[in-house]
Amino acid sequence: MMLTKTHKTLRYLVLVIMAIIIIGPFILGFWTSLLPTADIAKGTLFSTHISFQNYVDAVQQTAIMRYLLNSFVISLLTMAAQLLFCSLGAYAFVFLSFKGRDFLFYVILATMMLPFEAEVIPNFATVRQLNLLNHYAVMVIPFLTSAFGIFMLRQSFRQIPPELKEAADVEGLNHWQFYWRVTLPYARISLFTLAAYSFLESWNQYLWPMLTTFSDKFRPVQDGLRQLQSQETFNNWGMIQASAVIVVIPTLIVLFVGQHYFKDGLNEGATK
Amino acid sequence: MSIELNALGKAYTADNWVLQNVTAHIESGEFFAIVGPSGCGKSTLLRMIAGLIPISTGELQIDGKVATDLPPKDRQLTMVFQSYALFPFLSVTDNVAFGLKARKFPAKEIEERVTKAIKLVNLEEFKDRRPRDLSGGQRQRVALARAIASDAKVCLMDEPLSNLDAQLRIKMRTELRNLQQELGLTVIYVTHDQVEAMTMADHIMVLHDHKIQQIGTPLDIYNRPANTFVASFFGTPRMNLLPARVTADRELTLADTLKLALPKPLPVADYIVGIRPTSLYLLPQGEGEPNAQVKTVEYLGAQILLEAELSDGTPIELTADPDENYRAGDWLSVGIDGNAYIFDHTGEVQFMVEGGRQHASRSHASAQA
């Protein structure tokens, strides 16, 4: 179908408006991070006092670097654990046959329907019993695996042609070898996706760390940002804005690196 | 390595037999084809031999040793799949080396075997490519190379050529057969294509209806079919199967039209007589008593195929010289001048009448047994 000129113009107009709505606040945030707080307070957004001083201040005066480190440790651990346990779980649901397999899978699916907020109180009680409060463990252990990850990888593993399993059986690969040498490389796109997803999910956690961490030593970035705001007596907005930008950078890196891998057609040629 | 199938059977649920009583002996170095229509259980049988599907009853011996319950890897065989089953994330070389690495061969031997196998299938210039960068025929060669590189002397093939186009399939048939002879492999080859089985195999097992119909050399199967199924499954164009009844001592009448003299008397009953189109002849147009009418004419190049109806309405296929100008609606005079197979009403072969020239409207030359 050929688009008429008006159609095309309209379409781009809508796209441009949506882009402005979405990217506008981000650009505004980035811009204000370059301005002195005095200018922000006065509302002179088109100031000429542009500098990276806010960033220097943020790094020197606040615990932002510690927050970043905490978040990195927590997110990387969560990501690695989810990749391992979700793929093992999904493998069992696809390649092992045992009694009650489907039922068990539906039970796991059912947990996805429960919002996290509804689980907060029992989970909190549990981690307190286990003496895990205010430690990395409290932010990693409850998230070692995820129902969504198992579900996603199960769907992806099911795409593996049964002949590959048969070929591997003839060559004498056991389940561990088949898991490691065939399943994981075959499903690598889904694994990258899950890795990016679980990293970002962990990075953006707010409610759970707020409830379970009490010191800068373990506090991750999102709660750290909140902390900055309440700590600063005169609310140094420029510096808080600079910290926020620093916090966003890893997210952008993950998405940017990630999209390189999200290509179609990598598994073509296995079977006709 | 020889393979012995001893009354093998497979049932997924009680008394629901997918395969029953499959007995065969496969010689070392033999090319053994398992042929049958879709759903006859031929792939199931192959997977039972491979150990991918458990055997319900019977015994499997490989190289004189019982292998009924051995895991696949201990059966010392390789398998080539219809869908190739290549690992898309590995190069051609790594795909071929996959099994050897899994079996922990020394690196040097792996390299030697892989290089040799890739050379044998003429893929040297593609050895670093991924499967997705290869054509269908090349992918099939990679799958073959994987089987060749292994030290196993038994290779199971599940319709390996059926995804290729017609030209390539014919070429690969010869290549496959040559490779098998060269390497002295014992090949068990599953196919639904009777031509493939006829051209490649030393022995053919015909499976149908969960049972073995016949085992024999291609010549046997073609010339001495055990029943109407085998008779009609092998040979193009297909054998005509005509209803027949005894009309005199030592004489059958086929479809109330053609008469066939018998070398010995038959008890009075209903019979089915099988005659290949090439064993029927046509009198020149205008001669003889017309007994069949042409329905369609198909040009096959070297000959033409006529689909006709005998006077009583029974369909019959005939071949004729392409120079003759037949048209739908023409009346023909058909006679028998080749072998005819007499089957009883259940389809089991009784005996064969070797062809002499006989014609319905003329003398009934005596046939020989």
Residue-wise pLDDT for A107-156, tens only, equals 999 998 888 888 899 999 999 999 989 989 999 999 999 999 999 999 99
- pLDDT of residue B285 exceeding 80: no
Report yes or no on A158 lying in a domain. Answer: yes
A161 and chain B in contact, CB less than 8 A: yes
Statement: residue B368 has pLDDT above 60: no
Q: Is the backbone of residue A198 left (phi > 0), alpha (psi -120 to 50) or beta?
A: alpha
* Per-residue b or e along A233-268, where b marks 16 or more CB atoms closer than 10 Å to that residue's CB: eeebbbbbbbbbbbbeebeeebeeebeeeeeeebbe
What does the alpha-carbon distance between residue A144 and residue A84 come to, in Å, rounded to a whole number? 9
Position B265 scores a pLDDT of 84
Give mean pLDDT, residues A229-238: 70
Query: B164 to chain A, minimum CA–CA distance in Å?
Result: 10
What's the angle, vertex CA B208, arms to CA B205 and CA B211, rounded to 5? 75
Strand partners, B57: B9
Number of folded domains in chain A? 2
Q: Please tell me whether residues A107 and A32 are part of one structural domain.
A: no
3 state DSSP class of B344: strand
Predicted pLDDT at B363: 36
In the predicted model, is pLDDT for residue B360 greater than 70?
no
Taking the Cβ of residue B84 and every Cβ of chain A, the question of whether any pair is shorter than 8 Å is answered with yes
Contact present, B230 and B214 (Cβ < 8 Å): yes
* Any B CB within 8 A of A184 CB: no
Choose between B343 and A256: higher pLDDT: B343
Confidence band of B361 (pLDDT split at 50, 70, 90) = very low
A234 has a pLDDT exceeding 60 = no
DSSP code, position A142: G
Distance CA B55, CA B8 (A): 7
Q: Is residue A58 part of a domain?
A: no
**pLDDT exceeds 50 at position A16:** yes
Q: Is the Cα dihedral B196, B199, B201, B203 positive or negative?
A: positive
- Are residues A113 and A164 both part of a single domain? yes
Residue B266 pLDDT greater than 80, yes or no: yes
pLDDT at A74: 95
Chain centroid to CA B16: how far? 26
Q: What angle do CA A192, A198, A199 make, to 5 degrees?
A: 90
Q: CA–CA separation, B177 vs B162, rounded Å?
A: 16
| pLDDT tens, position by position, A148-198 | 999 999 999 999 999 999 999 998 889 999 999 999 999 988 998 899 899
B69 phi, psi to nearest 5 deg: -110, 15
> Tens digits of per-residue pLDDT, B222-243?
999 999 999 999 988 899 999 9
Same domain, A91 and A187: yes
Percent of chain A with pLDDT strictly greater than 90: 48
**What is the Rg, in whole angstroms, of the alpha carbon atoms belonging to chain B?**
25
Residue B254 has pLDDT above 80, yes or no: yes
**B45/chain A closest Cα distance in angstroms:** 14
Q: Same structural domain for residues A40 and A81? A: no
Asked whether the predicted pLDDT for residue B208 surpasses 50, the reply is yes
Do A83 and A124 belong to one domain? yes
Whether A191 contacts A184, CB under 8 Å: yes
Give the pLDDT of residue A198. 92
pLDDT band per the 50, 70, 90 thresholds, residue A272? low
Say if residue A38 is in the same domain as residue A91: no
Same domain for A85 and A216, yes or no, is yes
Neighbours of A58 (CB within 10 A): 25
Residue A214 falls inside a structural domain: yes
Same domain, A84 and A44: no
Question: CA dihedral defined by A197, A199, A204, A207, rounded to 10 degrees?
Answer: 100
Q: Catalogue all structural domains in chain B, each as residue range(s) with its CATH number.
A: 3-225 (3.40.50.300), 236-353 (2.40.50.140)
- How would residue A232 be classed by pLDDT, with cut points 50, 70 and 90? low
> Residue A259: its pLDDT value, please?
75
**B87·A173 Cβ contact <8 A:** no
* Average pLDDT of chain A to the nearest whole number: 87
CA-based torsion, B11, B16, B18, B19: positive or negative: positive
Statement: residue B367 has pLDDT above 50: no
Q: What is the pTM of this model?
A: 0.81
Q: Tell me which chain B residue has its CA closest to the CA of residue A172.
A: B73
Contact, B186 vs B3, CB < 8 A? yes
Q: B317 near B305, Cβ under 8 Å?
A: yes
Which CATH number do you get for residue A150? 1.10.3720.10
| Model pLDDT, residue B359 | 42
> What was the pLDDT predicted at A262?
63
Give the model confidence (pLDDT) of B133-170 as tens digits: 998 889 988 998 998 898 888 999 999 888 888 888 88
Instruction: Decide if pLDDT at A70 tops 80.
Output: yes
Assess whether A111 and A19 both reside in one domain: no
Among A112, A83, A72, A86, which residue's Cα sits nearest to residue A195? A83
Determine the pLDDT at residue A33: 87
Output the six-digit token pair for B369: 């047994």
Tokens representing residue A186 in the block: 């075959």
- Min Cα–Cα distance to chain B from A176, Å: 12
Q: Is residue A130 in a domain?
A: yes
Torsion over CA: A55, A58, A61, A64 (sign): negative
What's the average model confidence in pLDDT over A6-13? Answer: 91
> A188-192, A254-258, B117-121, B355-359 — which is least confidently predicted?
B355-359
* pLDDT 10s digits, B27-74: 999 999 999 998 888 999 999 999 999 999 999 999 889 999 999 988
Identify all chain B residues contacting A167, using CB atoms and an 8 Å cutoff: 79, 81, 85
Cβ of A180 under 8 Å from any chain B Cβ? no
Judge if A90 and A214 occupy the same domain.
yes
B132 interface with A at CB cutoff 8 Å: yes
Q: Tell me the shortest Cα–Cα distance from A190 to chain B, in angstroms.
A: 14
What is the chain A residue with the closest CA to B135? A269
Inside any domain, residue A121: yes
By the 10 Å C-beta count (0-12 exposed, 13-18 middle, 19+ buried), A46 is classed as: exposed
Q: How confident is the model at residue B98 (pLDDT cuts 50, 70, 90)?
A: very high
Inside any domain, residue A65: no
**Chain A environment of B88 (Cβ under 8 Å):** 186, 266-270
CA–CA separation, A245 and A26 (whole Å):
9
Q: Which residue has the tokens 């199971």?
A: B156
**Residue B292, strand partner residues:** B310, B332
Backbone angles phi, psi at A204, to 5 degrees: -90, 10
**Omega of the bond leading into B322 within 30 degrees of 0 (cis):** no
| Partner residue facing B81 (CB), from A167, A267, A268 | A167
Tell me the chain A residues in contact with residue B82 when contact means C-beta distances shorter than 8 Å: 163, 272
Contact, B85 vs B135, CB < 8 A? no
Q: Are residues A43 and A98 in the same domain?
A: no
Domain that holds residue A139: 73-233+247-261
Percent of all residues in chain A with a pLDDT value above 70, rounded to a whole number: 93
> How far apart (Å, rounded) are the C-alpha atoms in residues A248 and A33?
13
The answer to whether residues A28 and A95 belong to one domain is: no
pLDDT for B358: 47
Burial A194-220 (b: 16+ CB within 10 A, else e): bbbbbbbbbbebeebbebbbeebebbb
Q: How far is B153 from chain A (nearest CA, A)?
A: 14
In a domain, A118, yes or no: yes
Q: Which residue of chain B comes nearest to A164, CA vs CA?
A: B85
> What is the reported pLDDT for A1?
55
